[in-house]
Chains A and B, each alone.
Chain A
Amino acid sequence: MAAALALAEEVAGSQPRAALSTLELRDFRNYRQLSLAVDDGIVVLTGANGAGKTNLLEAISLLSPGRGLRRAVLAELDRDDAGPFVLRARLSTIDGPLDIATGRDPSHDRRFVRLFDRNLRGQSELGMFFGVSWLVPSMDRILGDAASGRRRLLDRLALAVQPDHATRVAAYERAMRERSAVLRDGAGDPAWLKVLETRMAEPAVAIAAARIEVIGALNARLRNPVLDLPAVELAPSGEVEGWLLEMSALDTEQRLCEALARSRGRDALAGGAQHGVHRSDLDVCEAVRCEPAARLSTGRQKAVLLAMVMAEAELRRERSGMTPILLLDEVAAHLDSARRDALCDALLALDAQVWLTGTDKSLFGALSGRAQFFHVDEGRLSNHE
C-alpha cells in the first residue's frame, strides 16, 4: 500500500514531456542516412564546426510547423545532388506515441507531413500534438539588433498562449500586402482600402492581445530568474499594444483603421504601412535599474534569452500539460563555467527533453552521467558513453 502511494505521488509529481524516441534522416543536409534512438532526457551533441550538429537540431525543428530553425528554403534541405529529403520520427507525448514523417514532395515542391502514414492537410496540425522551441546563435544579437527579430521571437512565444497566433499574423500580413498593392496599382480606391484596413485591424487587435498576454505570463516567471541573472522585465512596445492597454478592443480596432486611412498618402510613397502591429517591438530591460538588456554583455544577453526560452517552456507545460522539446544550439559558448553549471542544473530541473550542441564535451561536465552524449562527425554519430 505504501509502495503504491509512493508510486502514485511520483507519477503525480513528474511532469509529462514531449520527447523524441527515434529519428531517421535520409538525404538531409550532410546526412545521407541516419538512425538514432534516444531516451527522453537531455541529449548532448559534440563535434567540430560543420560536422552536422545544427543540421540535426534543424531536422527536429522541422517536426513542428514552419520552416525550421534556419528558416531555410525547402530545396536547400536536400543533401547535395541527392534528395528529396525525408525525416521520420517517433515521439512520446502525453497522449501516447506519435509517428511523424516529413520531407520534400518533389511533385509539388512543398513539404509533406504524415501522421501515422496519413497525410495531414497542413503543417499547422502538427502544433496541436507537441511543441518544439529553440535558441540558435543567429539569435545572439537579437536584443540589440533590428526590431524584426525580436518581433518574430515575440510572435513565436505568443503561440504558447494563442495557438492560432501564426494564422492571425499571416492574415494580417496578407491584408497589408493587398493594401500596398492597391495603393501602388489600384489608384487608391478608398472603398477597397477601407475594407483592407478593416481586414488588417481585426487580426491586429488579436495579435496585440496575445503578445500582451504572453509577456505578462513570461514576466511572472522571469521575476525569479535562473542562471544567476538579474531579474528581467519584458514589455510590449508598439502603438497598437499601447492603445489596447488603454481602451477596448473595438476602440483599438477603430483607431487603427483611422490611423491607416490617414497615412494612405505617405504609405503610397514609402510602401508598407506607417501604423500596425508589424512595427511593434519587444522591450527587454533589467528589472531593477530599467537598463535595456541590449547594453548587457554578450554572455548576459545569451543568459537572458535562455531564461526567456525556459520560461516559455514552463508556460507551455502549464497551458498544454506537456513540456516542449528544447533545441539549444551552441548555448554554452558565451557562458562562464559558473553559469554553464547553473544552466545544466536549470535544464535538469526543467524536466524536458533538451538537445544541446557544443564543440567540446567538457563544456557540459555538469551533465556527465545525467545526459546522453553523442559525437557528430561528417553526418555520422557515435555514442560517447
Chain B
Amino acid sequence: MAANEIEHLIRLMGRLPGLGPRSARRAALSLMKHPDTLLRPLIEALGTCRDAISICSTCGNLDSHDPCSVCADRDRDRDVVCVVQEVEDLWAMDRSGSYRGLFHILGGTLSALDGRHPEHLRITALLERVEKDGIGEVILALGATVDGQTTAHYLGERLRPLACRVTRLAYGLPVGGELNYLDQGTLDAAMKARQLLA
C-alpha cells in the first residue's frame, strides 16, 4: 500500500502517453529509490522546461527561443515549408537529414466527427506565412490516414490561390521492405506513384 503522496504521483505519471498504471508505478518507485541521482535532476529539468520552453510563434515548434532554432537557422532553405501534424513529426523529418528547409506544425488533423475544425489548427498562420514570406513550395507531410489525407487535400484547396507549389510526400514501398508483405492499399498507392526508370 503506497502513501497518498506516491499514489498521487503514480496517477499523474499514468496520464503520460506510453505509460500505463504498471509502468507509472515502476517509474514512480524508481524516482523514490534514487532521490539524488534521478528525482532531484528530474524536478529541476521539469522546472527549467516550464519556465524556458515556449511555442514558436512562426512554426509552432517547442523551443527556448522565439523564433525557434529551426526558424532562426539561416543555413536552411527559406523558400520551402514542410507542413507536419505534430512536433515529433518535425523531429523525425529533421533527424532524417534529407530535408533542410523550414517547418510548419499544424497541431493535428481535421475531423468533423471529433470536432476538430480548421480554426483549431494553425492553418490561417500557414496561409499568412506563405503569402507574407513568398514561400515557393509547401510540402504536405501528413499521415497516410483518412483524416491526414482529408487535411492534406483541404490545405491543397486553401493554398491553391497562392502563388506556390504544393506537393505531398510519396506513398509506396518502405525501404528494405518486401513486396509480398505489403497491404493492398500500399501496393495500390505504390503502383499509382510509379516512376520512369528508363
Contacts and interface: CB of A to CB of B under 8 A. Distances in A.
B113 A191 contact: no
Contacts of A179: 112
A185 B150 contact: no
B118 A192 contact: yes
B115 interface: yes
A186 B158 CA distance: 16
A189 B118 CA distance: 9
Contact of A177 (B110, B113, B115, B117): B113
A196 B146 contact: no
Contacts of A182: 112
Interface in A137-190: 171, 174, 177-179, 181-182, 185-186, 189
A165 to B, nearest CB: 14
Contacts of B146: 171, 174, 199
B117 A199 contact: no
A174 B111 CA distance: 11
Contact of B115 (A171, A174, A185): A185
Interface string B171-187: 00000000000000000
Contact of A186 (B117, B150, B157): B117
Interface string A212-237: 00000000000000000000000000
Interface string B147-183: 0001001100110000000000000000000000000
A195 B117 contact: no
Q: Report the contact-size class of chain A (Cβ under 8 Å from the partner).
A: 10 to 19
Nearest to B159: A191
Interface string B110-137: 1111010110000000000000000000
A199 B158 CA distance: 17
Given A174-B146, A185-B117, A195 B153 contact: yes
Contacts of B158: 191
A261 to B, nearest CB: 13
Contact of A195 (B111, B113, B150): B150
Interface in A281-320: none
A189 B119 CA distance: 11
A174 B145 CA distance: 13
A47 B146 CA distance: 49
B171 to A, nearest CB: 16
Interface of A: 171, 174, 177-179, 181-182, 185-186, 189, 191-192, 194-196, 198-199
17 contacts: A171-B146, A174-B146, A177-B112, A177-B113, A178-B111, A178-B113, A181-B113, A185-B112, A185-B117, A186-B117, A189-B118, A191-B154, A192-B154, A195-B150, A195-B154, A196-B112, A196-B150
Interface of B: 110-113, 115, 117-118, 146, 150, 153-154, 157-158
